[in-house]
């Protein structure tokens, strides 16, 4: 499992929603957020993981960004499964 990927938490989602609302209401804040995302997000209370650079873009009615989610590092073995490590042999 990737350790650099940012954890999904209800708290970070709530914080991000607040930042979105503030950017809608405050053009100067929006400019700062788009020009210097890491600093502005940190000032707004978000914890910025080391080595991660945020890019903030804005959707418009005639220009919509589709974001490809981070490609998972872990492809799961679905053809050949390993024998389990537990002291139990599965019996249904």
Partner 1 sequence: MQSNNSEKLIEIEWAQLTAETVVIATSERAWLRRLDAFDSDDPFAQPMRCVGSLATTRNLLDGAISAAQQIAREAVSPKGARPQLTEARWVWRLAGYYRTTHATPRLMAEAAERFAAAGRHALARYALEKVRDESGHDELALADLRALGYCAEAVVVELVPPTAEALVDYFARGVRAENPVGCVGYAYALERLAVTNGRDYIRQVEAALPAGVRATRCLRVHSAVSADAKHVEDALEVTAGLPAEDRRLVARACYETALIACSPPPGGHIAETALRHRVAALKPQPSTQTS
Query: Is residue 55 near partner 1 by the rule CB under 8 A?
Result: no
Q: Are 29 and 56 in contact (CB under 8 A)?
A: no
Which member of 9, 26, 42, 45 binds partner 1 (CB under 8 A)? 9
Answer yes or no whether residue 92 interacts with partner 1 by CB under 8 A. Answer: yes
Nearer to partner 1, 25 or 76 (CB): 76
Determine if 50 is a binding residue for partner 1 (CB under 8 A).
Answer: no
Pull the structure tokens for residue 43: 């000032």
Polymer length of the chain: 92
Contact between 21 and partner 1 by CB under 8 A: the answer reads no
Q: What token pair was written down for 75?
A: 């492809």
């Amino acid at each position: 499992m990737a350790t650099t990927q940012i954890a999904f938490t209800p708290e970070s989602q709530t914080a991000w929603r607040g930042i979105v609302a503030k950017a809608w209401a405050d053009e100067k804040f929006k400019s700062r957020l788009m020009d210097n995302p890491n600093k502005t997000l940190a000032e707004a209370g978000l914890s910025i993981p080391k080595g991660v650079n945020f890019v903030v873009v804005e959707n418009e009615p005639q220009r919509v960004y589709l974001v490809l989610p981070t490609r998972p590092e872990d492809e799961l073995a679905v053809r050949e499964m390993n024998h389990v490590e537990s002291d139990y042999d599965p019996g249904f």
